[in-house]
Amino acid sequence: MSNRTARRTAVPVALALTLGLVLTACADDSGDGAAPAGGTTTSTDDPATSGATDDGASPSASAVPEHRTAAGLLAIATAEKKAGGTAFAIDDPDRDNTWEIGVATGKISVEVEVSADGTEVVGTRDDDLDADDRQAIADAKFSITQAIERTVATSGGDLDDAELDEDDGRFQWSVTVLVDGAEVDFRVGTQDGTVTQERED
């Protein structure tokens, strides 16, 4: 075989190999979200946090509550770790984009501000804590975290805020959730964990 014939044969072979590699790379980088056989794919874009799905649509109604409630529960854990006490109140991050969590520590309350994702302490401030409140928090068999989890599971709603509340000398957890965009209030027993919806007047 002449050198010219060899070169003519080599060029199509090289082109075929190059084309095959390009097509393989394109298939692997298609980003269509399809899972490979026997495995799963993960995405760095979380619709619950980004506010939109890959196709530009709004996230599903179920994705946002799961993320928001999880962030609130994480914020409680972060605040309790920072203050070294027991949380008894949480306010949503609407006003300043931080969760505000009241934590009972000894004879005082520490208000801990936590980032909206629940991971970072932004600031703290000490405040007074009533003796009756301290005792009720210490005596509670069900924590504010458990009260929130039970209320969300019962209502299918999304955490808004929660706090220790007293009514006629009886302490309960007051938990507000968002259900289809509307605020709905629930009471959760600190001793038995019973969830009851507050009736509107």
Specify the pTM. 0.67
Burial class (CB in 10 A: 0-12, 13-18, 19+), 52: exposed
The domains of the chain are located at: 63-197
Residue 146 backbone zone (phi > 0: left; psi -120 to 50: alpha; other: beta): alpha
Predicted confidence pLDDT, tens digits, the chain (201 residues)? 444 434 444 434 333 433 343 333 334 444 444 433 333 333 333 333 333 333 333 333 333 335 889 999 999 999 999 999 999 999 998 778 999 999 999 999 999 999 999 999 999 999 999 999 999 999 999 999 999 999 999 999 999 999 999 988 899 999 999 999 899 999 999 999 999 998 765
